[in-house]
Amino acid sequence: MPCERPSTDSASVRPNRPEALSGPASRRVFLAATSAVGGVLAAGPAAAEAAPLNMEWAASAPEPSTCVTLTVNGERHTLTMDNRTSLLDLLREHLGLTGAKKGCDAGACGACTVLVDGRRVVSCLMLAVRLEGAEITTVEGLERGGRLHPLQQAFIDQDAFQCGFCTPGQIMSALGCVQEAHTGCAEEIREWMSGNLCRCGCYPNIVRAVEQAARGW
Amino acid sequence: MHSFVYTRASGLRQALDAARRGGRYLAGGTTLVDLMRETVERPAVLVDIAGLPLRDVTLTADGTLRIGALARMAEAAAHPGIRAAHPVVCEALELSASPQLRTVATIGGNLMQRTRCPYFRDVTAACNKREPGSGCPAREGVHRTHAILGTSRQCVATHPSDLAVALAALDADVRVLGPGGERAVPLTAFLLPPGDTPHREHALGPGELITAVDIPPHPRPLRSGYLKVRDRRSLEFALTSAAVALHIRGGVIREAKLAAGGVGTVPWRLPAVERRLIGERPSNRLWSQAAARAADGARPLPGNRFKTELLKRTVERQLRVVGGGR
């Protein structure tokens, strides 16, 4: 597959699942579209800019961008990206997947949690150039044929959010928590979900949602 | 974040070669990428070593437990061999960071993580560790979480690792590979107290790579455990911590190995506490008497004076947990 820049990759500005959206004027379409365009505008000059490298070895190297092929929610993407791009920015700004949220951008809040090769990671601290051949799962990739994933349903059933900003990260982290079998009791769930902060304080209901999903696993 | 060239090392030789030419090793990246974003770290070239074959946990012929430098923290914490022999290591790992970070962060990288001192992480502030000679605002400023042991006029920042505290208690060595071959450095000599050169934090030479951590064989049974005291229950660095390992036979403590975290500029062994314990019979009275020596030599600042007493109580409690209450 030829390696394309995000700015020329029309697939990257397309909302991932338009059929799941309520209409063309929905907030999600608007945000996804503008963030993707914003990403292109921001990524274009940055990717083209030659870095001031003072090392002889580095000076002979190509400009600091890399071509990477990775799979996101079952869909293969080949992109050339500025080496500084985090997985979180790749998802949000280049692929239009705005489920993973940028909370702290420092690995301390968990709002950007996704699965990489089946394991939960904070995508803000993961450089996307490292992910050659990796399989990424985001919250957008959980539903099957219009049916919510049991964890998504559990978060609704247990009223496990207020503002919802941390929820995609909570759900992806909960998926890791359940798959790792750290759901023996509420206390264990609290500890193994402690990488995800909720400023609304919905922790009791989040724990109940994870318990509910774990029971049906 | 400043621009950088990214390369992936396909083998050890290639990694060493790239580092010799000025490349910076990238393992899990959970510290390095964070600090690059803050422009505290500005490497021109990253050498990705995460795929190198340094991930295994093995038992050598002489009974040394060897943990590969690129074993992820989560893998090491869940390893049945480590858990059976040295629960203190697994407890320290599982009380560190968050599950998402432990999935990615490595054993070698954990030792190489940089201090959480807010002045170090703020490029607009002075910091002798980041910019030698620029000064240390922590002494006069916010230093509640800073060190009370091993400090210097230049720096009072703690080493943030929990794992390193457990490994220091267990007399672990850091195995290091460089252009001249492989060598073993005791962990307590690998991490350097600040002195007049707080920017020098470890004993690695240019281009050298950590390949493994070795825990030597200890007399059995060795009971061990880790206690971490912090401002919140999880996802927080230690105010104080204690790694305790005891070999008790015939009702007498034959060996005692203790180290403290959150209080030192490096993981802090507690020889005075160990000497008080060896040859004695476990009792609550003994734990209390021994722990009273835990803060020997402490030089607290006004804002972290509480750590002196907190450290003694942390050590006493963990002695009771590991050694039993009587």
The answer for residues whose C-beta is within 8 angstroms of residue B76's C-beta and 6 or more apart is B57, B67, B82, B89, B90, B93, B107
Rounded average pLDDT over B99-106: 98
Positions of chain A with pLDDT lower than 70, given as ranges: 1-63
- C-beta atoms of A86 and B97 within 8 A: no
Report chain B's mean pLDDT, rounded to a whole number: 97
- Surface of A (44-63) touching B: CB under 8 A: 49, 51-55, 57-58, 61
pLDDT at position A63: 62
Q: Where are the domains of chain B?
A: 5-51, 223-323
- My answer on whether omega of the bond before B186 falls inside 30° of 0, hence cis, is no
pLDDT class for B325, splitting at 50, 70, 90? confident
Domain A150-215 fold is DNA polymerase; domain 1 (1.10.150)
- What is the chain B residue with the closest CA to A195? B98
Rounded average pLDDT over B124-150: 98
Q: What share of chain B has pLDDT > 70, as a percent?
A: 100
CA-CA distance, A123 to A106, in Å (whole number)?
10
The contact set of B with A (CB < 8 A) is: 1-6, 8, 21-22, 26, 29-30, 33-34, 37, 44-46, 48, 50, 97-101, 103-104, 233-235
pLDDT tens by residue, B37-96: 999 999 999 999 999 999 999 999 999 999 999 999 999 999 999 999 999 999 999 999
What would the two tokens of residue B43 be?
């490497």
Same fold for the domain at B5-51 and the one at B223-323?
no
* B211, B177 contact by CB (below 8 A): yes
Q: What share of chain B has pLDDT > 90, as a percent?
A: 99
pLDDT at position A44: 34
Nearest to A110 among B3, B29, B98 (CB): B98
CA-based nearest distance A106→chain B, Å: 6
Q: Count of A–B CB contacts within 8 Å?
A: 109
Nearest to B21 among A57, A126, A177 (CB): A57
pLDDT class for B238, splitting at 50, 70, 90? very high
Q: Return the biggest CA–CA distance within chain A.
A: 59
Rounded average pLDDT over B286-293: 98
The answer for residues whose C-beta is within 8 angstroms of residue A183's C-beta and 6 or more apart is A177, A189, A192, A210, A211, A214
pLDDT at position A146: 94
- C-beta atoms of B3 and A61 within 8 A: no
- C-beta atoms of A126 and B33 within 8 A: yes
pLDDT tens by residue, B188-215: 999 999 999 999 999 999 999 999 999 9
Nearest to A195 among B5, B45, B100 (CB): B100
Query: Residue B109 in 3-state DSSP?
Result: helix
DSSP for A99-131, please give it. Answer: -S--SSSSSSS-TTEEEETTEEEEGGGSBGGG-
Geometric angle at alpha carbon A86, from A81 and A92, rounded to 5°: 85
Domain A6-141 fold is Ubiquitin-like (UB roll) (3.10.20)
Superfamily for the B223-323 domain: CO dehydrogenase flavoprotein, C-terminal domain (3.30.390.50)
- What is the chain B residue with the closest CA to A111? B100
pLDDT at position B46: 98
Q: Where are the domains of chain A?
A: 6-141, 150-215
Nearest to B44 among A58, A110, A177 (CB): A58
Q: What is the CATH number of domain B5-51?
A: 3.30.43.10
**Cβ neighbour number for residue A116 with a 10 Å cutoff:** 19
CA-CA distance, A1 to A79, in Å (whole number)?
10
Q: What are phi and psi of B93, to 5 degrees?
A: -65, -45
CA-CA distance, A82 to A69, in Å (whole number)?
14
Listed residue (B104, B130, B91) closest to B238, CA to CA? B91
Rounded to the nearest 10 degrees, what angle do helices A150-157 and A203-215 cross at?
Answer: 140
Strand partners of residue B150? none
Q: Which amino acid is at B72?
A: R
pLDDT tens by residue, B208-231: 999 999 999 999 999 999 999 999
Listed residue (B43, B27, B32, B179) closest to A57, CA to CA? B43
What would the two tokens of residue A30 be?
């608007």
